[in-house]
Structure 1
C-alpha cells in the first residue's frame, strides 16, 4: 500500500490552471455577505469533477460539497471566501480594482488582503487530488467554502441554516490559513491557535459649543482622547506579561468645522485575548474605563458601547493535532523552512472553530507561509521582517503563488488522508 506522501505526489494535478484560477479569485474579490460571483465560480469548478454532491446558498453564499467513498470516517475541510474593504497596493498585474458598497451602503475598494483567495484555490486543488486518488481512501469527504469570516458571521450562519442537515456530521474538522511566514513553511500547534476578538462601536455624546466657549459645552473629542489613552493601560498594567491581550482603537470620527466643539465622537474598538479569564477581565476593564472617563469629563451622558462582532477562542484538539504531526512530518521536510510542530499562532481571530464546537467535534487549524523566500530571507538577515514582509490585512499582502498553493493543497489532502486512508 502506498504511503500518504506517495499518494499525494502521484495524484496532484498540474497546478498551472490553478495558478490562473487563483489570479481570477484575487482579481475579483467580494465583501462579506456579498460573495455571489465567488460562490458561483467555486460551484462551477466543483462541477467539473463530476464527483461531488454540491449544496449552495447555505447561510448566505456558503457552499458544501460531499464525496461519499465507502465506509469510514467523515472529515470536513474548510476554506473561507470573503475579502476585505482594502485598496490593493501590491502593483501586481492581476491586482484588484474592485469597488463595492459595504453593509452600511458606503462604496469601498475591495481586496483579498487576508489570503482567502489562496484558501479557495488550495481547497479546490485538494478536492481535485482527492477525486483522482479515491481508490486509495475510504470514508466521506465534506468540503465547506464559508462566507463572511471577516465579519464573524459565516460559520454560525451556515450552522444555523442547516449545514449539518445537508451534509453528514463530520468526525473531524480541519481548516487552514496562509500567513506572512516564508513560503514553503507549514505548521501545527497544540492548544490555542487563534485569539478571541470582541469588537465594539463606542458613541460618546457631548454637548456642542463654539470653540471659543468650551465651558459651555462638553468636549467629546477630549473625552475620547482620554479614553483611548487610558484603554492602552489595560494591557500594560492589568494583564500578566506572560499572557496575551490587545486593545486597539481602530477608528475615531468626530467633528467637522474648526470652530465647533462637536456633539459626539464615534470610535471603533477591537479587543483580543488568549485565555477565557483574560478576555473576561479585559472586557470588564474596557467598560470600567469608558464609564470612568465620562465621569472625569463631568459628562452626564453615559457612553454607548455597542457590540458588533465576536470571534471565539480557537483551540486545536490534541489527538487530531498529534495525528497531523505524524503525517506532515513524513511528507514535508521538518525544519525552519518546512514543517514546524510549534508554529507561531495566528495573532488574528477565526470563526472556523464554530463548525466543530457547534456539534461537539474536534478540530485542527494548520498554518502555512506565503512570503517570497528571497524577500523573507533578506528581511530576516537585515532584521526588517516587520517593515518588509506585508502581513494579513495589509494593502501589500500578496502571497507568492508557488510554492504557497502547493503547500496549502497538500496540507488539506494529507489531513484528509490521515483519517480516511484505507486501513488507517
Structure 2
C-alpha cells in the first residue's frame, strides 16, 4: 500500500509557478555559494567537539541575524545542569505553517588525514581528559554552511512564502544528547511548536544528488554498560577465583545470539561490543571487566528484546561460572546516550521527493536503503507526532564515486579520517534542495 501511494504522489508534476520559483532559487543560490565556500573551509579548519560548539554556534547566530532572523543562543540544558550551545533563528512572515530546519554543529574526536589545504589541525581534550585530534568527519560543517545559505535565500524570497521559519543549530548530535538538551530547555514552549521538521545529512555518494528514504531511515541507538564481576585471584590459581575476563569472552560470543535467536529475521537488529577494559597485569585475575555496548533497531519492541537479552545473557554466563549472587553482573542502560529510530514521515517524504525530482531532475534523486546508523533529529518529531524527514545529500566527487563503482573499492565514509566532501557542488545542491523544499512547504 505504501509503495502505491508513494508512486502516485511522486508521479505528480509541479506547476508553472513552481518552475519559476526554482529559477529564482538557482540564481540566488548561485550568487551565495562562492562566498560560502570560505565559510565552509573556515568551519572545517576549526571544528569543535560535542558540548563545546561555542565558536561554531556564535558564527551561525551572527549569520542568521544578518539575514534578518530573530536569534536566541545557548538553548539547551543537559542532565548535569550545564547549558548547551543550541541556536534558534526565527523568521516570521505572516500567517501560515511553521517549518523547522535543523543543522547539527559538532565535530568528532578524529585526527584528520585528508591532506586538504584547509584540513583541521585542531586538538582538544575529550571527556576522559585524553588529547585527541578534532575533525568534521561527519560533514556537519556542510550542514551549518547550508543552513546559512538557506537563511539568506529564504530572507531574500519573503514574497514567495508565508508562515514561520524556525532554523535550529543543534549541538552534540555525535553524542546523541543535543536534541534532548534543546527539548529539555523547553524549545517548543519558548519558540512555538512546528508543523513539520526537515534536515539533511551528507553522505559518500555523488555530489549533485539527493535521496529520500520514506519510513524507517535510521535505527535507534541504545548504549549499554555491562560490568562482569568476578572474584580476583592469582593467575596461577584460577580455581581460587571467578575469572571475569573468561566470562566477558563468553558473554561477547553469546550475546550475538540475542539477534540471531531472539529477534525475528524480518527485523533488522545489531548488538556490538565496542569497548572492553579489564585487568592490570598478566598474572592477576581481576575482580571485574567493563564492556560498552551499542545496540540498533527500528522498533521499540526489538529494542526492548535486545536489552532483555543482554541482561539475561550476562546473568546466565555468571551463573554458569558459579558467581555468587552478590557478584552478579551489573547491566546499565544509558538513556542519556540513547536515541529513538528516525522514522521519516511517508507523506512528507513523498512531497520532498516530488520537489527534488522537479528541481534537480529525476536522475539526481537516487534511491537509498535504510541504514543502521543513528541520529537524534527524530527527537524533534516528539515520537512522530510532528511529521519529520531527514534526507541524504551526496557530497563526494562524482569521478571518485564512478571509480569506486568500477573497482569495487569503497570510498571513505563519515567518521573516517579520510572523509573529504567535494564542497562546492554539495553546498549548491544542499542549499537549493532545502530552499526549494522550504518554499513549497510554506505555501
**1:392 aligns to what SS in structure 2?**
coil
1:205 and 2:205 matched: no
**2:293 aligns to what SS in structure 1?**
strand
1:158 and 2:182 matched: yes
Task: Give 2:69's aligned residue.
Answer: 52
Tell me the distance in 1 between the aligned counterparts of 2:176 and 2:92: 30
Tell me the distance in 1 between the aligned counterparts of 2:418 and 2:265: 31
1:326 and 2:354 matched: yes
Tell me the distance in 1 between the aligned counterparts of 2:271 and 2:431: 35
1:402 to 408, 411, 424: 424
Contact 1:192 1:274 in 2 (8 A): yes
Normalized against structure 2, the TM-score is what?
A: 0.89
1:236 to 257, 260, 264: 260
Task: Structure 1: give runs of 5+ residues left out of the alignment.
Answer: none
Contact 2:228 2:314 in 1 (8 A): no
* Of 59-68 and 147-156, the range deviating more from structure 2: 147-156
Task: Give 1:188's aligned residue.
Answer: 212
Tell me the distance in 1 between the aligned counterparts of 2:56 and 2:292: 29
Tell me the distance in 2 between the aligned counterparts of 1:88 and 1:34: 19
1:101–1:179 CA distance, 2 compared to 1 (3 A):
same
1:393 and 2:415 matched: yes
1:303 and 2:321 matched: no
Task: Give 2:22's aligned residue.
Answer: 5
Deviation at 1:263, TM superposition (A): 2.2
Task: Structure 2: give runs of 5+ residues left out of the alignment.
Answer: 1-16, 77-83
1:204–1:2 CA distance, 2 compared to 1 (3 A):
closer
Task: Give 1:176's aligned residue.
Answer: 200
Q: Aligned ranges for residues 116-131 of structure 1 at < 5 Å?
A: 116-131=140-155
1:362 and 2:387 matched: yes
Task: Give 1:21's aligned residue.
Answer: 39
**After superposition, what is the alpha-carbon deviation per residue over 1:217-263, rounded to whole angstroms, capped at 9, x for unaligned?**
22211111111111222223333333211111111111222222222
1:38 to 51, 56, 63: 56
Q: Aligned ranges for residues 137-152 of structure 1 at < 5 Å?
A: 137-152=161-176
Deviation at 1:348, TM superposition (A): 1.0
1:284–1:140 CA distance, 2 compared to 1 (3 A):
same
Q: CA RMSD in A?
A: 1.8
Tell me the distance in 2 between the aligned counterparts of 1:195 and 1:382: 30
Deviation at 1:2, TM superposition (A): 5.5
Tell me the distance in 1 between the aligned counterparts of 2:272 and 2:415: 15
Contact 2:339 2:379 in 1 (8 A): no
1:250 and 2:267 matched: no
Normalized against structure 1, the TM-score is what?
A: 0.93
**After superposition, what is the alpha-carbon deviation per residue over 1:10-38, rounded to whole angstroms, capped at 9, x for unaligned?**
22133122112112111211121111111
Tell me the distance in 2 between the aligned counterparts of 1:17 and 1:347: 36
1:346–1:117 CA distance, 2 compared to 1 (3 A):
farther
1:315 to 334, 343, 362: 343
Deviation at 1:7, TM superposition (A): 2.5
**After superposition, what is the alpha-carbon deviation per residue over 1:294-340, rounded to whole angstroms, capped at 9, x for unaligned?**
112222211112223111011111221121121111011213xx113
1:414 to 436, 440, 443: 436
Aligned length: 414
* Of 154-163 and 343-352, the range deviating more from structure 2: 343-352
Tell me the distance in 2 between the aligned counterparts of 1:359 and 1:157: 18
Deviation at 1:87, TM superposition (A): 2.0
1:109 to 117, 120, 133: 133
Tell me the distance in 2 between the aligned counterparts of 1:291 and 1:397: 41
Tell me the distance in 2 between the aligned counterparts of 1:151 and 1:109: 17
**1:62 aligns to what SS in structure 2?**
strand
